[in-house]
Amino acid sequence: MTPDSLLQVRDLKVHFPVQHGLLSRVKAHVKAVDGISFSLAPGETLGLVGESGCGKTTLGRAVVRLIEPTSGSVLFNGEDITKLDGADLRSRRRGFQMIFQDPFGSLNPRMTVEQIIGEALDIHSLATGDGERSKRITGLLDSVGLSANHAQRYPHEFSGGQRQRIGIARALAVEPKLIVCDEPVSALDVSVQAQIINLLQDLQRERGIAYLFVAHDLAVVEHISHRVMVMYLGQVAELADAKAIVREPKHPYTQALISAVPVVDPEAKRQRIMLPGDVPSPIDPPSGCPFHTRCPIAEPRCHSEKPALREIAAGHFVACHLAR
Protein backbone atom coordinates (compact mmCIF):
# COMPACT_ATOMS: atom_id res chain seq x y z
CA MET A 1 0.00 0.00 0.00
CA THR A 2 1.40 3.38 -0.94
CA PRO A 3 1.58 5.70 2.09
CA ASP A 4 -0.97 8.15 0.70
CA SER A 5 -3.60 5.56 -0.37
CA LEU A 6 -7.10 5.94 0.99
CA LEU A 7 -8.24 2.75 -0.72
CA GLN A 8 -6.22 -0.24 -1.83
CA VAL A 9 -7.99 -3.06 -3.66
CA ARG A 10 -5.97 -6.26 -4.02
CA ASP A 11 -6.73 -9.16 -6.34
CA LEU A 12 -10.47 -8.74 -5.78
CA LYS A 13 -12.76 -11.43 -7.18
CA VAL A 14 -16.54 -11.62 -7.25
CA HIS A 15 -17.74 -14.92 -8.72
CA PHE A 16 -21.50 -15.57 -8.69
CA PRO A 17 -22.59 -19.23 -8.64
CA VAL A 18 -24.86 -20.39 -11.46
CA GLN A 19 -27.25 -22.99 -10.04
CA HIS A 20 -29.04 -25.68 -11.96
CA GLY A 21 -31.68 -28.37 -11.45
CA LEU A 22 -33.95 -29.36 -8.59
CA LEU A 23 -31.10 -29.61 -6.13
CA SER A 24 -29.76 -26.19 -7.17
CA ARG A 25 -26.32 -27.62 -7.80
CA VAL A 26 -23.67 -25.04 -8.69
CA LYS A 27 -22.75 -25.83 -12.27
CA ALA A 28 -20.56 -22.83 -13.04
CA HIS A 29 -19.56 -19.35 -11.88
CA VAL A 30 -20.04 -15.93 -13.47
CA LYS A 31 -16.65 -14.26 -13.05
CA ALA A 32 -18.00 -10.72 -12.76
CA VAL A 33 -14.81 -9.36 -11.17
CA ASP A 34 -11.76 -11.52 -11.71
CA GLY A 35 -8.64 -10.38 -9.94
CA ILE A 36 -8.70 -6.57 -9.88
CA SER A 37 -6.11 -4.45 -8.05
CA PHE A 38 -5.86 -0.66 -7.83
CA SER A 39 -5.42 2.15 -5.31
CA LEU A 40 -7.10 5.50 -4.79
CA ALA A 41 -5.62 8.57 -3.08
CA PRO A 42 -7.61 10.99 -0.90
CA GLY A 43 -9.42 13.54 -3.08
CA GLU A 44 -8.79 11.56 -6.28
CA THR A 45 -11.36 10.41 -8.86
CA LEU A 46 -10.84 7.08 -10.59
CA GLY A 47 -13.22 6.51 -13.51
CA LEU A 48 -14.30 2.93 -14.21
CA VAL A 49 -15.38 2.24 -17.79
CA GLY A 50 -16.23 -0.67 -20.03
CA GLU A 51 -19.19 -2.11 -21.89
CA SER A 52 -22.31 -3.25 -20.11
CA GLY A 53 -21.57 -6.51 -18.26
CA CYS A 54 -17.81 -5.85 -17.86
CA GLY A 55 -18.12 -5.95 -14.06
CA LYS A 56 -17.66 -2.26 -13.24
CA THR A 57 -20.87 -1.91 -11.20
CA THR A 58 -20.19 -5.18 -9.36
CA LEU A 59 -16.67 -3.93 -8.55
CA GLY A 60 -18.03 -0.61 -7.21
CA ARG A 61 -20.55 -2.42 -5.00
CA ALA A 62 -17.99 -4.95 -3.76
CA VAL A 63 -15.66 -2.10 -2.70
CA VAL A 64 -18.34 -0.77 -0.33
CA ARG A 65 -19.45 -4.30 0.71
CA LEU A 66 -22.92 -4.07 -0.86
CA ILE A 67 -21.84 -7.27 -2.62
CA GLU A 68 -19.67 -9.82 -0.84
CA PRO A 69 -16.33 -10.41 -2.57
CA THR A 70 -15.35 -14.04 -3.24
CA SER A 71 -11.70 -13.35 -2.41
CA GLY A 72 -9.13 -10.57 -2.26
CA SER A 73 -8.95 -7.57 0.03
CA VAL A 74 -10.23 -3.99 0.22
CA LEU A 75 -8.08 -1.84 2.48
CA PHE A 76 -9.77 1.38 3.53
CA ASN A 77 -7.45 3.61 5.57
CA GLY A 78 -5.22 0.56 5.91
CA GLU A 79 -7.93 -1.71 7.35
CA ASP A 80 -9.26 -4.71 5.40
CA ILE A 81 -13.02 -4.11 5.40
CA THR A 82 -13.73 -7.52 3.82
CA LYS A 83 -12.89 -9.02 7.23
CA LEU A 84 -15.41 -6.86 9.13
CA ASP A 85 -19.04 -7.53 9.91
CA GLY A 86 -21.86 -6.43 12.22
CA ALA A 87 -21.30 -3.28 14.25
CA ASP A 88 -17.66 -2.93 13.11
CA LEU A 89 -18.69 -2.79 9.46
CA ARG A 90 -21.59 -0.43 10.19
CA SER A 91 -19.32 2.02 12.00
CA ARG A 92 -16.73 1.97 9.16
CA ARG A 93 -19.45 2.65 6.58
CA ARG A 94 -19.33 6.25 7.68
CA GLY A 95 -16.12 6.53 5.69
CA PHE A 96 -17.45 5.18 2.40
CA GLN A 97 -20.82 5.84 0.81
CA MET A 98 -22.52 5.18 -2.51
CA ILE A 99 -24.76 7.14 -4.85
CA PHE A 100 -26.85 5.32 -7.43
CA GLN A 101 -27.95 5.63 -11.05
CA ASP A 102 -31.61 5.68 -10.08
CA PRO A 103 -31.96 8.07 -7.15
CA PHE A 104 -35.73 7.50 -7.10
CA GLY A 105 -35.25 3.78 -6.54
CA SER A 106 -32.78 4.40 -3.73
CA LEU A 107 -34.90 6.98 -1.84
CA ASN A 108 -37.75 5.73 0.35
CA PRO A 109 -40.91 7.24 -1.25
CA ARG A 110 -42.68 7.35 2.14
CA MET A 111 -40.02 9.47 3.81
CA THR A 112 -39.57 13.22 3.54
CA VAL A 113 -36.20 14.62 2.54
CA GLU A 114 -35.62 15.59 6.16
CA GLN A 115 -36.27 12.01 7.30
CA ILE A 116 -34.05 10.55 4.56
CA ILE A 117 -31.05 12.72 5.44
CA GLY A 118 -31.83 12.64 9.17
CA GLU A 119 -31.79 8.83 9.14
CA ALA A 120 -28.18 8.86 7.93
CA LEU A 121 -27.26 11.29 10.74
CA ASP A 122 -29.10 9.17 13.34
CA ILE A 123 -27.45 5.87 12.36
CA HIS A 124 -24.06 7.34 13.20
CA SER A 125 -25.29 9.62 16.05
CA LEU A 126 -24.00 12.69 14.26
CA ALA A 127 -26.53 15.22 15.55
CA THR A 128 -27.57 15.58 19.16
CA GLY A 129 -30.84 17.42 19.71
CA ASP A 130 -33.50 18.59 17.22
CA GLY A 131 -31.95 22.03 16.70
CA GLU A 132 -28.56 20.61 15.76
CA ARG A 133 -30.19 17.95 13.53
CA SER A 134 -32.27 20.37 11.49
CA LYS A 135 -29.36 22.81 11.23
CA ARG A 136 -27.21 20.05 9.75
CA ILE A 137 -29.96 18.96 7.35
CA THR A 138 -30.43 22.56 6.14
CA GLY A 139 -26.65 22.88 5.70
CA LEU A 140 -26.50 19.65 3.68
CA LEU A 141 -29.40 20.73 1.44
CA ASP A 142 -27.66 24.04 0.88
CA SER A 143 -24.39 22.33 -0.05
CA VAL A 144 -26.14 20.38 -2.85
CA GLY A 145 -28.08 23.38 -4.19
CA LEU A 146 -31.44 22.70 -2.48
CA SER A 147 -33.13 24.85 0.14
CA ALA A 148 -34.64 24.36 3.61
CA ASN A 149 -38.09 24.58 1.95
CA HIS A 150 -37.42 21.22 0.32
CA ALA A 151 -36.98 19.37 3.63
CA GLN A 152 -40.65 18.49 4.16
CA ARG A 153 -41.28 17.24 0.63
CA TYR A 154 -41.29 13.67 -0.67
CA PRO A 155 -39.01 12.25 -3.42
CA HIS A 156 -41.81 12.14 -6.05
CA GLU A 157 -42.15 15.95 -5.80
CA PHE A 158 -38.66 16.46 -7.29
CA SER A 159 -37.10 16.26 -10.75
CA GLY A 160 -34.49 13.57 -11.56
CA GLY A 161 -31.60 16.00 -11.04
CA GLN A 162 -33.01 17.19 -7.70
CA ARG A 163 -33.46 13.61 -6.55
CA GLN A 164 -29.83 12.91 -7.35
CA ARG A 165 -28.95 15.98 -5.23
CA ILE A 166 -30.92 14.45 -2.34
CA GLY A 167 -28.97 11.19 -2.77
CA ILE A 168 -25.72 13.15 -2.67
CA ALA A 169 -26.83 15.06 0.46
CA ARG A 170 -27.67 11.75 2.16
CA ALA A 171 -24.21 10.39 1.30
CA LEU A 172 -22.53 13.61 2.51
CA ALA A 173 -24.40 13.54 5.83
CA VAL A 174 -21.91 11.08 7.34
CA GLU A 175 -18.86 13.01 6.06
CA PRO A 176 -17.40 10.18 3.95
CA LYS A 177 -13.87 10.11 2.57
CA LEU A 178 -14.92 7.97 -0.41
CA ILE A 179 -18.10 7.92 -2.51
CA VAL A 180 -18.70 5.21 -5.10
CA CYS A 181 -20.77 6.86 -7.83
CA ASP A 182 -22.62 4.19 -9.83
CA GLU A 183 -23.60 5.79 -13.17
CA PRO A 184 -24.95 8.83 -11.25
CA VAL A 185 -25.79 10.92 -14.32
CA SER A 186 -26.66 8.39 -17.03
CA ALA A 187 -30.42 8.64 -16.40
CA LEU A 188 -30.41 12.47 -16.55
CA ASP A 189 -30.74 15.00 -19.40
CA VAL A 190 -27.41 16.26 -20.74
CA SER A 191 -27.79 19.77 -19.24
CA VAL A 192 -28.66 18.29 -15.84
CA GLN A 193 -25.73 15.86 -16.13
CA ALA A 194 -23.33 18.81 -16.34
CA GLN A 195 -24.84 20.39 -13.21
CA ILE A 196 -24.47 17.20 -11.17
CA ILE A 197 -20.89 16.64 -12.41
CA ASN A 198 -20.00 20.24 -11.48
CA LEU A 199 -21.58 19.74 -8.05
CA LEU A 200 -19.56 16.56 -7.45
CA GLN A 201 -16.36 18.38 -8.47
CA ASP A 202 -17.13 21.35 -6.18
CA LEU A 203 -17.79 19.00 -3.26
CA GLN A 204 -14.53 17.19 -3.94
CA ARG A 205 -12.59 20.47 -3.89
CA GLU A 206 -14.29 21.62 -0.67
CA ARG A 207 -14.20 18.33 1.23
CA GLY A 208 -11.37 16.29 -0.29
CA ILE A 209 -13.66 13.35 -1.07
CA ALA A 210 -12.35 10.56 -3.34
CA TYR A 211 -14.70 9.16 -5.99
CA LEU A 212 -14.81 5.79 -7.67
CA PHE A 213 -16.87 6.89 -10.66
CA VAL A 214 -18.57 4.11 -12.62
CA ALA A 215 -19.89 5.12 -16.05
CA HIS A 216 -20.21 3.90 -19.61
CA ASP A 217 -19.90 7.41 -21.09
CA LEU A 218 -16.20 8.00 -21.64
CA ALA A 219 -16.67 11.72 -22.31
CA VAL A 220 -18.18 12.17 -18.82
CA VAL A 221 -15.51 9.98 -17.23
CA GLU A 222 -12.67 11.87 -18.91
CA HIS A 223 -14.13 15.16 -17.68
CA ILE A 224 -14.41 14.21 -14.01
CA SER A 225 -11.59 11.66 -13.52
CA HIS A 226 -7.93 12.06 -12.64
CA ARG A 227 -7.25 8.46 -13.70
CA VAL A 228 -9.31 5.96 -15.68
CA MET A 229 -9.47 2.17 -15.43
CA VAL A 230 -10.84 0.29 -18.44
CA MET A 231 -12.39 -3.10 -17.68
CA TYR A 232 -13.07 -6.01 -19.97
CA LEU A 233 -14.70 -9.26 -18.80
CA GLY A 234 -14.05 -8.53 -15.12
CA GLN A 235 -10.37 -7.69 -15.60
CA VAL A 236 -8.30 -4.54 -16.05
CA ALA A 237 -7.39 -3.85 -19.69
CA GLU A 238 -5.75 -0.45 -19.09
CA LEU A 239 -5.23 1.97 -16.20
CA ALA A 240 -3.71 5.42 -16.64
CA ASP A 241 -4.03 9.16 -16.23
CA ALA A 242 -7.34 10.29 -17.82
CA LYS A 243 -5.62 12.44 -20.47
CA ALA A 244 -3.19 9.65 -21.42
CA ILE A 245 -6.06 7.18 -21.83
CA VAL A 246 -7.93 9.52 -24.18
CA ARG A 247 -4.94 10.88 -26.15
CA GLU A 248 -2.80 7.76 -26.29
CA PRO A 249 -4.84 4.65 -25.55
CA LYS A 250 -2.53 1.63 -25.74
CA HIS A 251 -4.88 -1.32 -25.39
CA PRO A 252 -6.80 -2.21 -28.58
CA TYR A 253 -10.03 -2.36 -26.55
CA THR A 254 -9.50 1.14 -25.13
CA GLN A 255 -8.67 2.36 -28.66
CA ALA A 256 -12.03 1.03 -29.87
CA LEU A 257 -13.91 2.65 -26.96
CA ILE A 258 -12.20 6.01 -27.53
CA SER A 259 -12.88 5.88 -31.28
CA ALA A 260 -16.62 5.82 -30.49
CA VAL A 261 -16.53 9.06 -28.45
CA PRO A 262 -17.85 12.00 -30.51
CA VAL A 263 -15.26 14.77 -31.03
CA VAL A 264 -16.26 18.43 -30.74
CA ASP A 265 -13.62 19.70 -33.21
CA PRO A 266 -14.77 18.72 -36.76
CA GLU A 267 -11.12 18.93 -37.96
CA ALA A 268 -10.01 16.31 -35.45
CA LYS A 269 -11.66 13.35 -37.14
CA ARG A 270 -11.34 9.94 -35.56
CA GLN A 271 -11.57 6.66 -37.40
CA ARG A 272 -14.22 4.54 -35.69
CA ILE A 273 -12.93 1.06 -34.80
CA MET A 274 -15.75 -1.47 -35.02
CA LEU A 275 -15.14 -4.57 -32.93
CA PRO A 276 -16.41 -7.87 -34.33
CA GLY A 277 -18.75 -10.09 -32.30
CA ASP A 278 -20.16 -9.72 -28.82
CA VAL A 279 -18.53 -9.70 -25.41
CA PRO A 280 -17.96 -13.40 -24.52
CA SER A 281 -19.77 -14.90 -21.53
CA PRO A 282 -18.08 -14.25 -18.17
CA ILE A 283 -19.12 -17.83 -17.26
CA ASP A 284 -16.61 -19.21 -19.73
CA PRO A 285 -14.16 -16.42 -20.63
CA PRO A 286 -11.70 -17.03 -23.50
CA SER A 287 -8.30 -18.57 -22.76
CA GLY A 288 -5.17 -16.44 -23.02
CA CYS A 289 -6.01 -12.77 -23.48
CA PRO A 290 -9.72 -12.33 -22.68
CA PHE A 291 -9.98 -9.85 -25.58
CA HIS A 292 -8.46 -12.11 -28.28
CA THR A 293 -11.84 -13.13 -29.79
CA ARG A 294 -12.49 -9.51 -30.84
CA CYS A 295 -9.02 -8.01 -31.06
CA PRO A 296 -8.11 -6.64 -34.52
CA ILE A 297 -4.36 -7.30 -33.96
CA ALA A 298 -4.43 -10.62 -32.07
CA GLU A 299 -1.47 -12.97 -32.59
CA PRO A 300 -1.40 -16.75 -32.13
CA ARG A 301 0.11 -16.48 -28.63
CA CYS A 302 -2.81 -14.25 -27.52
CA HIS A 303 -5.03 -17.38 -27.65
CA SER A 304 -3.02 -19.17 -24.97
CA GLU A 305 -0.87 -16.65 -23.08
CA LYS A 306 -2.63 -14.28 -20.74
CA PRO A 307 -0.95 -10.83 -20.85
CA ALA A 308 0.19 -9.40 -17.52
CA LEU A 309 -0.84 -5.88 -16.54
CA ARG A 310 2.48 -4.10 -17.28
CA GLU A 311 3.57 -0.54 -16.50
CA ILE A 312 4.69 0.73 -19.91
CA ALA A 313 5.15 4.38 -18.81
CA ALA A 314 4.99 6.02 -15.40
CA GLY A 315 1.54 5.19 -14.02
CA HIS A 316 0.31 3.75 -17.34
CA PHE A 317 -0.61 0.04 -17.07
CA VAL A 318 -1.73 -2.12 -19.99
CA ALA A 319 -2.67 -5.81 -20.25
CA CYS A 320 -1.57 -6.48 -23.84
CA HIS A 321 1.42 -8.42 -25.18
CA LEU A 322 1.94 -5.86 -27.94
CA ALA A 323 1.53 -2.57 -26.04
CA ARG A 324 4.69 -0.42 -26.01
Compute CA distances 172 → 126, 191, 205, 250, 268, whole Å. 12, 23, 14, 37, 40
251-280: contacts with ligand SF4 (CB under 6 A) = 251-252
Which lies closer to ligand SF4 via its Cβ, residue 179 or residue 295?
295
- Between the CA of residue 138 and those of 150, 187, 226, what are the distances in Å? 9, 26, 31
Q: Decide: is 169 part of the binding site for ligand SF4 (CB under 6 A).
A: no
CB atoms within 10 A of CB 86: 7
β-bridge mates for residue 229, sequence order: 48, 239
Does 313 bind ligand SF4 (CB under 6 A)? Our answer is no
Per CB under 6 A, 32 contacts ligand SF4: no
How many residues bind ligand SF4 (CB under 6 A)? The answer is 14
Q: Which of 249, 324, 319 is nearest to 34 (CA)?
A: 319
Using CB under 6 A as the binding rule, whether residue 187 contacts ligand SF4 is answered as no
Stretch that binds ligand SF4, among 135-143, 153-161, 194-202, 316-324 (CB under 6 A): 316-324
Strand partners, 8: 39, 75
∠ at Cα 166 (162, 167), nearest 5°? 115
In what side-by-side order are the strands of the sheet with 25-40? 25-40, 7-20, 71-76, 79-80
Q: Which stretch binds ligand SF4 (CB under 6 A): 82-90, 122-130, 133-141, 286-294?
A: 286-294
By CB under 6 A, the residues from 287 to 306 that bind ligand SF4 are: 289, 291-292, 295, 297-299, 302
Residue environment code for 209-230, b if the CB has 16+ CB neighbours within 10 A, otherwise e: bbbbbbbbebebbbbbbbbbbb
Q: By CB under 6 A, which span of 55-63, 65-73, 193-201, 284-292 interacts with ligand SF4?
A: 284-292
Is 307 a residue that touches ligand SF4 (CB under 6 A)? Answer: yes
Q: Does 250 bind ligand SF4 (CB under 6 A)?
A: no
- DSSP assignment, residue 253? H
Task: Report in angstroms how near the CB of residue 237 gets to ligand SF4 at its nearest.
Answer: 7
Cβ at position 299, least distance to ligand SF4 in Å:
6
Taking CB under 6 A as the binding criterion, the range among 18-26, 84-92, 195-203, 315-323 that sits at the site for ligand SF4 is: 315-323
Assess 49 for contact with ligand SF4 (CB under 6 A): no
Q: Which is nearer to ligand SF4, 155 or 252 (CB)?
A: 252
Sign of the alpha-carbon dihedral angle for 177, 73, 12, 240: positive
317 near ligand SF4 (CB under 6 A): no
| N-to-C CA span, the chain | 26
> Please, what is the minimum distance in Å from the beta carbon of residue 253 to ligand SF4?
7
- Which of 101, 315, 319 has the alpha carbon at shortest distance from 217? 101
Does 234 participate in binding ligand SF4 (rule CB under 6 A)? no
Per CB under 6 A, 312 contacts ligand SF4: no
- Chain residues that interact with ligand SF4, rule: CB under 6 A: 251-252, 289, 291-292, 295, 297-299, 302, 307, 320-322
